[in-house]
């Protein structure tokens, strides 16, 4: 039997509360589970000690039995020091989206047009002054 350590949702509408449970992978998300090994309350502040509570010895027992934690539970276990932290690499995360790139291009084009207009305006009076001097002589 494949066993997973995962979240089971509880709580009211728009007020989530999760149990961290050990369950058969074929069971429904909020359905039957083997054992409750912790809780997660996302409504609490990130630095609150009651946000994630784990029964460490039971989690270690189930991991020793071959239970696979879900991605979110694995992050909780890494933060608690029960699992070795995986290195994650998402090179596209820091890149701006298409709309932001388009906006940057527009700003660049406007700046270039403004610089060209300013250079043209600066050159025009100098030419007029040179023509006036030539006419005066």
pTM across the whole model: 0.65
The mean per-residue pLDDT over the stretch 19-37 comes to 95
CA distances in angstroms from 47 to 9, 102, 131, listed in the order given: 21, 38, 73
Which class for 90: exposed (0-12), middle (13-18), buried (19 or more C-beta within 10 A)?
exposed
pLDDT in tens, 32-65: 999 999 999 999 999 999 999 999 999 999 999 9
Q: Give the tens place of pLDDT for each residue, 64-98.
A: 999 999 999 999 999 999 888 888 888 888 888 99
Give the per-residue pLDDT at 19. 96
CB-based contacts of 2, cutoff 8 Å, min separation 6: 24, 25, 26, 68
Query: Cα–Cα distance between 54 and 64 in angstroms, integer?
Result: 16
Closest by CA to 22, choosing from 60, 78, 49, is 60
Q: What are phi and psi of 87, to 5 degrees?
A: -80, 130
């Amino acid at each position: 039997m494949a066993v997973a350590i995962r979240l089971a949702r509880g709580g009211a509408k728009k007020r989530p509360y999760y149990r961290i449970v050990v369950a058969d992978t074929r069971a429904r998300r909020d359905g039957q589970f083997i054992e409750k090994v912790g809780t997660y309350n996302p409504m609490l502040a990130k630095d609150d000690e009651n946000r994630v509570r784990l029964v460490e010895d039971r989690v270690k027992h189930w991991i020793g039995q071959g239970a696979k934690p879900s991605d979110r539970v694995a992050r909780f276990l890494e933060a608690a020091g029960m699992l070795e932290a995986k290195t994650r690499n998402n090179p596209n995360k820091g890149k701006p989206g298409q709309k932001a790139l388009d906006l940057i291009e527009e700003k660049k084009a406007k700046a270039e047009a403004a610089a060209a207009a300013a250079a043209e305006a600066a050159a025009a009076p100098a030419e007029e002054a040179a023509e006036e001097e030539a006419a005066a002589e």
